[in-house]
Structure 1
Amino acid sequence: MIAYLALALTVALATAQHDQPCDCAVFLNINGTDVFITDLPTLYVNFCDQHDPCQNHCADEFDFFTNGGDLGSETPEGPVGQVLCSLLGVPVEDEFVSVYSNLCNTTWEDTGDTTLQPLCCDASSSYYECPVLTTSDLSTTAEPVTLY
């Protein structure tokens, strides 16, 4: 009987080691608040100290989903930017999209990976390329400065 219990405990511990989730998600920071957009595929790790493999997995999934962070990259549902705007359902102006990881159901951590371009969505959740300011735009709109 003791041998049976020992075997059952060993099997339970061995299978539990592969059940630690590394969750990945796409977020947008609006006015200092992180806004969840969508989940990415989860990786199951052996232990909760596998921070780097978790972050790397999330970065890889983000790169795959966005084709290296490109909002204009085509997916079966349309450009990545349009997919994100549709999921958000709110206007967004000039914000970068980031990927976060969450190892073992703790806190979300920014992996440091972001989109190449900022995201812009209009009131009808349609994606558009954000306008880019040039130095000539700045020089025509800036107030003259008097130096003493």
Structure 2
Amino acid sequence: MICYLALALMVAMATAQHDMPCECAVFIDIDGQEVLVTDLPTLYVNYCDQHGPCDNHCSAEFDILTYGGDLNFVTEYGTVGQILCSLVGLPVENEFVHVYSNLCNTTWEDTGDTTFQPLCCDSDVSYYECVVETTLEPVTVSLEPSP
């Protein structure tokens, strides 16, 4: 009887090790708040300390669905930018889309992945390419050796 109980306990432990969710989602900043745009496929991991594999999974899912974060990539449903505008459902002006992960139902953490271009959606939630202006000052470089 003890052998059956031990076997049942080992089976339960082995199957329970893959229940830890690594959730992935795409967020955008609207009026200073991160707003959920859409969820990405979830990965189930063995332990809640597997941040690296979780972030890598979220990054890979984002790359697959957006062709590396290119808003102008054309899918069978339209451009990535148009799909995101439709999901946001609001006008958006020059905001980058970010990927977040959430391991074991804790807090959302930015994976560092973002779109190549900022997202712009008009009042009809139609995507258009943002006019990106640089605000950086020119840098003067001296070619003379320093003393």
Taking structure 2 as the reference length, the TM-score comes to: 0.88
Residue of structure 1 equivalent to 2:130:
130
SS at match of 1:38: strand
Residue of structure 2 equivalent to 1:78:
78
Residue of structure 2 equivalent to 1:118:
118
**C-alpha displacement at 1:31, in angstroms?**
2.8
**C-alpha displacement at 1:134, in angstroms?**
5.7
Residue of structure 1 equivalent to 2:139:
none
Instruction: Describe the superposition over 1:82-136 as per-residue Cα deviations: whole angstroms up to 9, x where unpaired.
Output: 000001111000000000001111110000110000000011111000112267x
SS at match of 1:127: coil
Q: What are the within-5 Å matches in structure 2 for residues 22-101 of structure 1?
A: 22-101=22-101
Q: Structure 2 vs 1, CA of residues 65 and 13 (structure 1 numbering), >3 Å: closer, same or farther?
A: same
Residue of structure 2 equivalent to 1:105:
105
SS at match of 1:3: helix
After TM superposition, the runs of 4+ consecutive aligned structure 1 residues lying more than 4 A away are: none
Q: CA RMSD, aligned part only?
A: 1.2
Unaligned residue ranges in structure 1 (runs of 5+): 136-148
* Same amino acid, percent of matched pairs: 73
- Structure with bigger helix share is 1
**Letter of the aligned partner of 2:29 in structure 1?**
N
**C-alpha displacement at 1:8, in angstroms?**
1.0
Rounded to whole Å, the distance in 2 between the matches of 1:107 and 1:76 is 33
**C-alpha displacement at 1:63, in angstroms?**
1.0
**C-alpha displacement at 1:3, in angstroms?**
1.8
SS at match of 1:85: helix
Residue of structure 1 equivalent to 2:143:
none
Rounded to whole Å, the distance in 2 between the matches of 1:133 and 1:32 is 21
SS at match of 2:61: helix
Between the two proteins, the alignment pairs up a number of residues equal to 135
Taking structure 1 as the reference length, the TM-score comes to: 0.87
